[in-house]
Structure 1
């Protein structure tokens, strides 16, 4: 396909890989003293393993898997609240498929559905709006989940519900933002990070300037990347060039899709419907100031937390991880998935202990699907 095949060209990939190896040698990075590059987005993590880029790049590069999976960073207490809402007889609970099997402390949404709750998988919040129109005697709740990528569609749906007067529609808002957790990681004295591969889909919405603090305040390079093999290889090369040259800048490899100042329509919808929460809990990172979004008072009629009396301010939030589960450590790049004692034994895609093994963007799922089983052989 046009605009895809050229980004999977093996001849071009070999040329970029040779350039990466040259720069790694110039930097003096080795297996024992590697350059640590964090890919923030879970989609990038899966692409790295799907295409075997971890094997193709030289041993002087260490990929650190960041907290870029919105399903994975959600604390278990929020899943418990989803289940509590969904089990009410008047509720039709709608959600993206990724969230169905994420375990809470008692059960997942899929298990709650098996127990009789009316839980339906949808592909967009507009599907949930249509369900609300067709079921005026039921309360339809949409599980609003994701980074800035999915936030605009939920905001636009709330605006549409307000225009249509759909009082039986509401959103359980768990939308979060990318820059605050990056700052939290950079402030962690135990984290060793030399540069970042920035998220492509998030940046389509917010642009590149929200990452300026990474370069200006912390002196770390970041390159916003696309999702094809050559996108990622070129982005890694651009990060390495900055490290070699002693630069720290925000660069945009994905310029064919990502505008510098983001998408003005999406940003306007977000600003109209949402405001920052004072703090929000992240799995593995704890409470992070202004990292989550909540629905503004002007739209509180569509806020499931207000409607059902759950969420922040309604009771204890923090819930301990299952014994032996290391999701938090994997999520923050402190360990690799295979270093978790439950990986592949007590925690598998069929019987997950943690969200990282369930989500299509989870690091453990990537390792299990590609790294621990089918992974591609490195090119000679």
Structure 2
């Protein structure tokens, strides 16, 4: 299968690993800023095959995981109201808010529906003109364009009973926040290829130059990850700090102009809170003033939200790359995918979920798949 089999070739993986082993001379810490990359790394045991000098740190790359608790609680409040049809992707339904989740709201009689596209929610709004239909719009730069297009279409078609609960975040400000942290150990980044396929790479050179870190745009298959690591390590060993595109089959320097134009029309940059991290300036989007009538927070005036994170959950430290999931005392015991304390154990891109699924229960056990690929 094109772009799948080629990027899971064991022989090519071995060559890349040999090159990395031959290149590295000192310890380096690299962060991947994508939950999909984290799952590839853990599933295939890539971190265990790299030289001991190369550490992979899992960053805040899961959009479900970084959605702040306050927004989750606002979603629960809106979904509980009579006359509301609340639509969401399925991975949000089990994300714990303060005391319950969207599955719980549905069990209590709320009309919570799983959809596969924001346009599905718009269709539901057209079919139910007497109901308020809300779509839970979360994610990074990747999911923001279709959500923006849906709001654009709602206004164009005059669908007044549709609104968007927005919690979109942007990757470059998060990288800056990580590098400014006093606890930061990161010396290089594997940037998320799907984000760059939308936004391009023009925001990254300033970060690479300003903080002295290589940033390598990387895909999601095993060979993509290994090539990203190889390039980052080679730069570090030579004292170089620049942006490299190791995912040219999907990423262009200018990104996707049409998607960026839609984002610029519908959204405006704003400060955003990241779950477990806090507020990062200019790290998110909200609906622009001319689309404010489609903003669910504005429409439903949700106020008086009091949030409470479980004291034993250390997902915030996981998201910042300060600890590995198995270093949390609740991991695998009190906190499992069936009884999650935090979003990092629920989401299909969460680091805790990856460690649990692939049996990294103590941090040193082998993953289920012994091979680095396939």
Q: What is the TM-score normalised by the length of structure 2?
A: 0.96
What is the CA deviation profile of residues 97-132 of structure 1, one whole-angstrom value per residue up to 9, with x for unaligned ones?
111000001210111111110000011100101100
1:15 matched to 2:15? The reply is yes
Cα displacement (A) at 1:51? 1.4
Match of 1:302 in 2: 294
1:357 matched to 2:350? The reply is no
What is the CA deviation profile of residues 181-225 of structure 1, one whole-angstrom value per residue up to 9, with x for unaligned ones?
111110012111110000011111000111122211101001000
Gaps of 5+ in 1: none
Cα displacement (A) at 1:375? 3.1
Using the alignment, how far apart are the partners of 1:304 and 1:320 within structure 2?
Answer: 22
Cα displacement (A) at 1:315? 4.6
Structure 1 stretches of 4+ with a deviation exceeding 2 A read 314-317, 371-379
Match of 1:154 in 2: 147
Using the alignment, how far apart are the partners of 1:316 and 1:306 within structure 2?
Answer: 14
Match of 2:364 in 1: none
Match of 1:171 in 2: 164
| Contact 2:74–2:305 (CA under 8 A) maintained in structure 1 | no
| Contact 1:39–1:197 (CA under 8 A) maintained in structure 2 | yes
Secondary structure in 2 aligned to 1:116? Answer: coil
Using the alignment, how far apart are the partners of 1:2 and 1:185 within structure 2?
Answer: 36
Using the alignment, how far apart are the partners of 1:104 and 1:3 within structure 2?
Answer: 38
1:88 matched to 2:81? The reply is yes
Secondary structure in 2 aligned to 1:256? Answer: coil
Using the alignment, how far apart are the partners of 2:204 and 2:368 within structure 1?
Answer: 32
**Map 1:174-323 → 2, pairs under 5 A:** 174-277=167-270, 279-310=271-302, 314-315=303-304, 319-323=307-311
Cα displacement (A) at 1:254? 0.3
Secondary structure in 2 aligned to 1:287? Answer: strand
Cα displacement (A) at 1:273? 0.3
| Contact 2:62–2:350 (CA under 8 A) maintained in structure 1 | yes
What is the CA deviation profile of residues 127-154 of structure 1, one whole-angstrom value per residue up to 9, with x for unaligned ones?
1011001101000000000000000000
| Contact 2:272–2:281 (CA under 8 A) maintained in structure 1 | yes
Using the alignment, how far apart are the partners of 1:284 and 1:187 within structure 2?
Answer: 16
Gaps of 5+ in 2: 362-366
Aligned length: 367
Q: Which stretch of the first structure deviates more once superposed, 233-242 or 204-213?
A: 204-213
Distance of aligned partners of 1:191 and 1:375 in 2 relative to their CA distance in 1, 3 Å threshold: farther
Cα displacement (A) at 1:290? 1.2
Using the alignment, how far apart are the partners of 2:178 and 2:83 within structure 1?
Answer: 42
What is the CA deviation profile of residues 139-174 of structure 1, one whole-angstrom value per residue up to 9, with x for unaligned ones?
000000000000000000001101110000000011
Using the alignment, how far apart are the partners of 2:321 and 2:187 within structure 1?
Answer: 13
Using the alignment, how far apart are the partners of 2:74 and 2:38 within structure 1?
Answer: 29
Secondary structure in 2 aligned to 1:142? Answer: strand
Match of 2:52 in 1: 59
Q: What is the TM-score normalised by the length of structure 1?
A: 0.94
Cα displacement (A) at 1:19? 0.2
The structure showing larger relative contact order (alpha-carbon pairs under 8 Å, at least 6 residues apart) is 2
Using the alignment, how far apart are the partners of 1:293 and 1:230 within structure 2?
Answer: 33
Using the alignment, how far apart are the partners of 1:40 and 1:125 within structure 2?
Answer: 25
Out of 324, 328, 334, the position equivalent to 1:346 is 334
Using the alignment, how far apart are the partners of 1:43 and 1:301 within structure 2?
Answer: 34
Secondary structure in 1 aligned to 2:207? Answer: helix
| Contact 1:69–1:362 (CA under 8 A) maintained in structure 2 | yes
| Contact 1:206–1:263 (CA under 8 A) maintained in structure 2 | yes
| Contact 2:44–2:370 (CA under 8 A) maintained in structure 1 | no
Using the alignment, how far apart are the partners of 1:216 and 1:192 within structure 2?
Answer: 17
| Contact 1:55–1:378 (CA under 8 A) maintained in structure 2 | no
Cα displacement (A) at 1:377? 2.9
